[in-house]
Protein backbone atom coordinates (compact mmCIF):
# COMPACT_ATOMS: atom_id res chain seq x y z
CA UNK A 1 0.00 0.00 0.00
CA UNK A 2 1.32 3.45 -0.93
CA UNK A 3 2.58 5.51 1.99
CA UNK A 4 2.77 9.28 1.21
CA UNK A 5 5.19 9.74 4.12
CA UNK A 6 7.85 8.19 1.88
CA UNK A 7 7.86 11.43 -0.11
CA UNK A 8 8.97 13.51 2.87
CA UNK A 9 12.50 14.88 2.64
CA UNK A 10 13.08 13.31 -0.80
CA UNK A 11 14.83 15.10 -3.65
CA UNK A 12 12.89 15.63 -6.88
CA UNK A 13 15.60 15.83 -9.51
CA UNK A 14 13.85 13.79 -12.21
CA UNK A 15 10.39 12.52 -13.05
CA UNK A 16 11.85 9.08 -12.35
CA UNK A 17 12.41 9.99 -8.69
CA UNK A 18 8.74 9.16 -8.17
CA UNK A 19 6.68 6.05 -8.70
CA UNK A 20 3.34 6.03 -10.48
CA UNK A 21 1.60 5.89 -7.08
CA UNK A 22 3.51 8.92 -5.84
CA UNK A 23 2.71 10.96 -8.96
CA UNK A 24 -0.97 9.98 -8.70
CA UNK A 25 -0.95 11.08 -5.06
CA UNK A 26 0.58 14.46 -5.91
CA UNK A 27 -1.91 15.05 -8.75
CA UNK A 28 -4.82 14.26 -6.43
CA UNK A 29 -3.38 16.50 -3.73
CA UNK A 30 -2.91 19.30 -6.27
CA UNK A 31 -6.55 19.01 -7.32
CA UNK A 32 -7.63 19.35 -3.70
CA UNK A 33 -5.49 22.44 -3.25
CA UNK A 34 -6.84 23.93 -6.47
CA UNK A 35 -10.47 23.62 -5.39
CA UNK A 36 -9.81 24.65 -1.80
CA UNK A 37 -10.68 21.24 -0.39
CA UNK A 38 -7.54 21.12 1.70
CA UNK A 39 -5.45 23.48 3.81
CA UNK A 40 -1.96 22.74 5.10
CA UNK A 41 0.01 25.31 7.06
CA UNK A 42 3.79 25.44 6.96
CA UNK A 43 4.02 28.81 8.65
CA UNK A 44 7.72 28.73 9.50
CA UNK A 45 8.98 26.90 6.41
CA UNK A 46 11.25 28.65 3.90
CA UNK A 47 11.75 27.86 0.21
CA UNK A 48 15.06 28.92 -1.33
CA UNK A 49 15.04 29.66 -5.07
CA UNK A 50 18.35 29.51 -6.95
CA UNK A 51 17.80 30.38 -10.61
CA UNK A 52 20.78 30.53 -12.97
CA UNK A 53 18.35 31.01 -15.88
CA UNK A 54 15.54 33.48 -16.52
CA UNK A 55 12.07 32.45 -15.36
CA UNK A 56 8.53 33.77 -15.12
CA UNK A 57 6.13 30.88 -14.49
CA UNK A 58 8.45 28.61 -12.51
CA UNK A 59 9.66 31.37 -10.21
CA UNK A 60 6.27 32.97 -9.56
CA UNK A 61 4.38 29.67 -9.28
CA UNK A 62 6.85 28.38 -6.68
CA UNK A 63 6.60 31.62 -4.69
CA UNK A 64 2.80 31.59 -4.87
CA UNK A 65 2.66 27.90 -3.93
CA UNK A 66 4.87 28.42 -0.88
CA UNK A 67 2.84 31.45 0.17
CA UNK A 68 -0.39 29.42 -0.09
CA UNK A 69 1.17 26.91 2.29
CA UNK A 70 1.76 29.71 4.78
CA UNK A 71 5.51 29.70 4.26
CA UNK A 72 7.91 32.17 2.69
CA UNK A 73 10.47 32.12 -0.09
CA UNK A 74 13.88 33.67 -0.68
CA UNK A 75 14.85 34.40 -4.27
CA UNK A 76 18.62 34.18 -4.76
CA UNK A 77 19.76 35.98 -7.88
CA UNK A 78 23.23 34.77 -8.96
CA UNK A 79 23.98 38.31 -10.17
CA UNK A 80 23.57 39.72 -6.66
CA UNK A 81 24.91 36.81 -4.62
CA UNK A 82 28.22 35.02 -4.23
CA UNK A 83 26.94 32.26 -6.57
CA UNK A 84 27.59 34.58 -9.50
CA UNK A 85 31.16 35.16 -8.32
CA UNK A 86 32.02 31.49 -8.52
CA UNK A 87 31.36 30.17 -5.03
CA UNK A 88 31.45 26.39 -5.13
CA UNK A 89 28.09 24.62 -5.28
CA UNK A 90 29.04 22.42 -2.32
CA UNK A 91 29.62 25.51 -0.17
CA UNK A 92 26.44 27.26 -1.34
CA UNK A 93 24.31 24.13 -0.82
CA UNK A 94 25.55 23.50 2.71
CA UNK A 95 24.89 27.09 3.75
CA UNK A 96 21.47 27.43 2.10
CA UNK A 97 20.24 24.16 3.59
CA UNK A 98 20.87 25.69 7.04
CA UNK A 99 18.68 28.69 6.18
CA UNK A 100 15.97 27.03 4.07
CA UNK A 101 13.74 23.97 4.40
CA UNK A 102 13.65 23.14 0.70
CA UNK A 103 15.56 24.38 -2.37
CA UNK A 104 14.30 24.78 -5.94
CA UNK A 105 17.19 24.99 -8.38
CA UNK A 106 17.07 26.12 -12.02
CA UNK A 107 20.44 25.56 -13.58
CA UNK A 108 22.09 24.51 -16.81
CA UNK A 109 23.35 20.97 -16.38
CA UNK A 110 21.77 18.06 -14.53
CA UNK A 111 25.16 17.41 -12.92
CA UNK A 112 25.07 20.85 -11.25
CA UNK A 113 21.65 20.00 -9.82
CA UNK A 114 22.92 16.66 -8.55
CA UNK A 115 25.85 18.46 -6.93
CA UNK A 116 23.40 20.69 -5.00
CA UNK A 117 21.48 17.59 -3.90
CA UNK A 118 24.68 15.83 -2.81
CA UNK A 119 25.67 18.59 -0.40
CA UNK A 120 22.27 19.90 0.73
CA UNK A 121 20.74 18.45 3.88
CA UNK A 122 17.29 19.61 2.73
CA UNK A 123 15.17 18.45 -0.26
CA UNK A 124 16.24 19.77 -3.65
CA UNK A 125 13.75 20.25 -6.50
CA UNK A 126 14.59 20.41 -10.19
CA UNK A 127 13.11 23.72 -11.38
CA UNK A 128 14.58 23.02 -14.86
CA UNK A 129 17.87 21.79 -16.23
CA UNK A 130 18.97 21.20 -19.79
CA UNK A 131 18.03 17.53 -19.31
CA UNK A 132 14.64 17.60 -17.58
CA UNK A 133 11.73 19.77 -16.44
CA UNK A 134 9.82 17.43 -14.10
CA UNK A 135 7.71 20.11 -12.37
CA UNK A 136 6.36 21.13 -15.76
CA UNK A 137 5.39 17.52 -16.46
CA UNK A 138 3.45 17.32 -13.17
CA UNK A 139 1.39 20.35 -14.20
CA UNK A 140 0.93 18.92 -17.70
CA UNK A 141 -0.49 15.63 -16.48
CA UNK A 142 -2.64 17.43 -13.90
CA UNK A 143 -4.14 19.43 -16.80
CA UNK A 144 -4.62 16.29 -18.90
CA UNK A 145 -6.27 14.43 -16.02
CA UNK A 146 -8.63 17.35 -15.37
CA UNK A 147 -9.69 17.32 -19.01
CA UNK A 148 -10.05 13.57 -19.59
CA UNK A 149 -10.48 12.34 -15.98
CA UNK A 150 -8.59 9.14 -16.76
CA UNK A 151 -5.15 8.74 -18.33
CA UNK A 152 -5.88 5.32 -19.79
CA UNK A 153 -5.88 5.04 -23.62
CA UNK A 154 -4.72 8.64 -24.14
CA UNK A 155 -2.21 9.71 -26.80
CA UNK A 156 0.05 12.72 -26.19
CA UNK A 157 1.90 14.12 -29.19
CA UNK A 158 4.80 16.50 -28.64
CA UNK A 159 5.78 18.51 -31.72
CA UNK A 160 9.17 20.17 -31.55
CA UNK A 161 12.69 19.74 -30.22
CA UNK A 162 13.46 16.58 -28.24
CA UNK A 163 14.43 18.76 -25.29
CA UNK A 164 14.12 18.74 -21.48
CA UNK A 165 10.33 19.08 -21.59
CA UNK A 166 10.06 16.17 -24.05
CA UNK A 167 12.29 14.05 -21.79
CA UNK A 168 10.08 14.60 -18.74
CA UNK A 169 6.92 13.93 -20.76
CA UNK A 170 8.43 10.65 -21.97
CA UNK A 171 9.37 9.56 -18.45
CA UNK A 172 5.97 10.50 -16.99
CA UNK A 173 4.17 8.88 -19.90
CA UNK A 174 6.10 5.67 -19.26
CA UNK A 175 5.19 5.72 -15.57
CA UNK A 176 1.53 6.70 -16.03
CA UNK A 177 0.76 4.55 -19.05
CA UNK A 178 0.11 7.36 -21.54
CA UNK A 179 1.17 6.81 -25.16
CA UNK A 180 3.75 9.44 -26.13
CA UNK A 181 4.65 10.43 -29.67
CA UNK A 182 7.52 12.80 -30.40
CA UNK A 183 7.57 14.58 -33.79
CA UNK A 184 10.80 16.43 -34.49
CA UNK A 185 13.12 17.18 -37.41
CA UNK A 186 15.86 14.67 -38.12
CA UNK A 187 18.76 15.21 -35.75
CA UNK A 188 16.60 16.68 -32.97
CA UNK A 189 15.31 13.41 -31.49
CA UNK A 190 15.25 12.98 -27.70
CA UNK A 191 18.29 11.57 -25.91
CA UNK A 192 18.72 7.87 -26.78
CA UNK A 193 19.25 6.99 -23.11
CA UNK A 194 15.91 8.61 -22.24
CA UNK A 195 14.14 6.51 -24.88
CA UNK A 196 15.87 3.34 -23.69
CA UNK A 197 15.03 3.97 -20.04
CA UNK A 198 11.40 4.79 -20.82
CA UNK A 199 11.01 1.57 -22.79
CA UNK A 200 12.43 -0.38 -19.85
CA UNK A 201 9.85 1.20 -17.53
CA UNK A 202 6.87 0.65 -19.79
CA UNK A 203 6.63 -2.89 -21.13
CA UNK A 204 4.34 -1.90 -24.00
CA UNK A 205 6.65 -1.43 -26.98
CA UNK A 206 3.96 0.67 -28.70
CA UNK A 207 3.74 3.28 -25.92
CA UNK A 208 6.52 5.44 -27.40
CA UNK A 209 7.05 6.58 -30.98
CA UNK A 210 9.56 9.04 -32.43
CA UNK A 211 8.97 10.32 -35.96
CA UNK A 212 10.07 13.11 -38.28
CA UNK A 213 6.51 13.44 -39.59
CA UNK A 214 4.24 15.69 -37.45
CA UNK A 215 1.09 14.70 -39.38
CA UNK A 216 1.72 11.02 -38.72
CA UNK A 217 2.28 11.77 -35.02
CA UNK A 218 -0.88 13.90 -34.71
CA UNK A 219 -3.31 11.32 -36.16
CA UNK A 220 -5.98 10.58 -33.55
CA UNK A 221 -3.98 12.23 -30.77
CA UNK A 222 -5.81 13.50 -27.67
CA UNK A 223 -3.19 16.08 -26.73
CA UNK A 224 -1.01 18.20 -29.01
CA UNK A 225 1.88 19.79 -27.14
CA UNK A 226 4.67 22.08 -28.26
CA UNK A 227 7.51 24.22 -26.93
CA UNK A 228 9.82 26.89 -28.33
CA UNK A 229 12.22 25.68 -30.98
CA UNK A 230 15.26 27.33 -29.39
CA UNK A 231 15.63 26.91 -25.64
CA UNK A 232 17.46 29.30 -23.32
CA UNK A 233 21.16 29.24 -24.11
CA UNK A 234 20.55 28.36 -27.78
CA UNK A 235 20.15 31.91 -29.05
CA UNK A 236 23.09 31.46 -31.43
CA UNK A 237 21.25 28.53 -33.07
CA UNK A 238 17.96 30.37 -33.53
CA UNK A 239 18.30 31.12 -37.25
CA UNK A 240 19.32 27.58 -38.21
CA UNK A 241 16.69 25.97 -35.97
CA UNK A 242 13.95 28.16 -37.43
CA UNK A 243 14.81 26.69 -40.84
CA UNK A 244 15.10 23.12 -39.56
CA UNK A 245 11.75 23.27 -37.75
CA UNK A 246 9.78 24.70 -40.66
CA UNK A 247 6.61 22.58 -40.87
CA UNK A 248 6.68 21.58 -37.19
CA UNK A 249 4.01 24.06 -36.14
CA UNK A 250 0.73 23.34 -34.38
CA UNK A 251 -1.75 24.98 -36.71
CA UNK A 252 -5.32 24.38 -37.80
CA UNK A 253 -4.31 21.76 -40.37
CA UNK A 254 -2.36 19.73 -37.83
CA UNK A 255 -5.10 20.03 -35.21
CA UNK A 256 -7.60 18.59 -37.71
CA UNK A 257 -5.53 15.39 -37.82
CA UNK A 258 -5.93 14.90 -34.07
CA UNK A 259 -8.97 13.59 -32.22
CA UNK A 260 -12.01 15.87 -32.51
CA UNK A 261 -11.85 16.58 -28.75
CA UNK A 262 -8.10 17.14 -28.67
CA UNK A 263 -6.59 19.80 -26.45
CA UNK A 264 -3.48 21.90 -27.08
CA UNK A 265 -0.72 22.51 -24.54
CA UNK A 266 2.37 24.73 -24.51
CA UNK A 267 4.74 25.22 -21.57
CA UNK A 268 5.27 28.89 -22.53
CA UNK A 269 6.61 31.39 -23.43
CA UNK A 270 5.13 30.97 -26.90
CA UNK A 271 6.36 32.47 -30.15
CA UNK A 272 3.18 32.75 -32.13
CA UNK A 273 3.49 31.96 -35.84
CA UNK A 274 6.52 29.75 -35.16
CA UNK A 275 5.82 26.60 -33.10
CA UNK A 276 2.12 27.50 -32.74
CA UNK A 277 -0.22 29.83 -34.58
CA UNK A 278 -2.09 32.69 -33.00
CA UNK A 279 -5.33 31.04 -34.15
CA UNK A 280 -4.61 27.90 -32.14
CA UNK A 281 -3.39 29.88 -29.12
CA UNK A 282 -6.82 31.53 -28.99
CA UNK A 283 -8.87 28.50 -30.01
CA UNK A 284 -11.37 26.55 -27.82
CA UNK A 285 -8.89 23.65 -27.85
CA UNK A 286 -6.34 25.71 -25.93
CA UNK A 287 -5.71 24.61 -22.33
CA UNK A 288 -2.40 26.45 -22.15
CA UNK A 289 -3.34 28.94 -19.46
CA UNK A 290 -5.01 26.30 -17.29
CA UNK A 291 -1.74 24.39 -17.71
CA UNK A 292 0.22 27.46 -16.57
CA UNK A 293 -2.03 27.87 -13.52
CA UNK A 294 -1.56 24.22 -12.66
CA UNK A 295 2.16 24.82 -12.20
CA UNK A 296 1.25 26.51 -8.91
CA UNK A 297 -1.12 23.78 -7.72
CA UNK A 298 1.20 20.91 -8.65
CA UNK A 299 4.16 22.58 -6.97
CA UNK A 300 2.09 23.35 -3.88
CA UNK A 301 1.32 19.65 -3.63
CA UNK A 302 4.97 18.74 -4.25
CA UNK A 303 6.20 21.15 -1.56
CA UNK A 304 3.57 19.90 0.91
CA UNK A 305 4.83 16.35 0.42
CA UNK A 306 8.54 17.10 0.61
CA UNK A 307 8.10 19.27 3.72
CA UNK A 308 5.82 16.81 5.50
- Catalytic (active-site) positions: 106, 133, 136, 227, 267, 295
Residues 290/144, Cβ–Cβ less than 8 Å: no
Q: CA-CA distance, 88 to 1, in Å (whole number)? A: 41
CA atoms within 13 A on the CB side of 288: 21
SS3 61: helix
Integer CA distances (angstroms), 278 to 144, 219, 249, 272, 304, in order: 22, 22, 11, 5, 37
Q: CA 121, 125, 127, 132 torsion: positive or negative?
A: positive
* CA 290 vs CA 70, 175, 189, 195: distances in Å: 23, 23, 28, 29
Q: Is the peptide bond before 269 cis (omega within 30 degrees of 0)?
A: yes
| Burial label, 193 (beta-carbon count in 10 A; 0-12, 13-18, 19+) | exposed
| CB neighbourhood size of 204 (10 A) | 10
- Which residues make beta-bridge pairs with 49? 75, 104
C-alpha span between 7 and 302 (Å, rounded): 9
What's the CA gap between 54 and 127, in Å, rounded?
11
**H-helix or E-strand spanning residue 198:** helix 192-201
Amino acid sequence: MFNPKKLAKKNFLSSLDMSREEIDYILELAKNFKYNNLEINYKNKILGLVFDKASTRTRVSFQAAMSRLGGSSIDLNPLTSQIGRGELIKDTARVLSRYCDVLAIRTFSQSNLEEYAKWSTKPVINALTDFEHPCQALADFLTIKEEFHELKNLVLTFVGDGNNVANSLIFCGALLGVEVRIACPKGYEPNALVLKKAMEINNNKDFLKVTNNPIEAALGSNILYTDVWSSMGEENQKESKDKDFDGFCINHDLLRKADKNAIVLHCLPAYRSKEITDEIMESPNNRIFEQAENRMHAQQALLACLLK
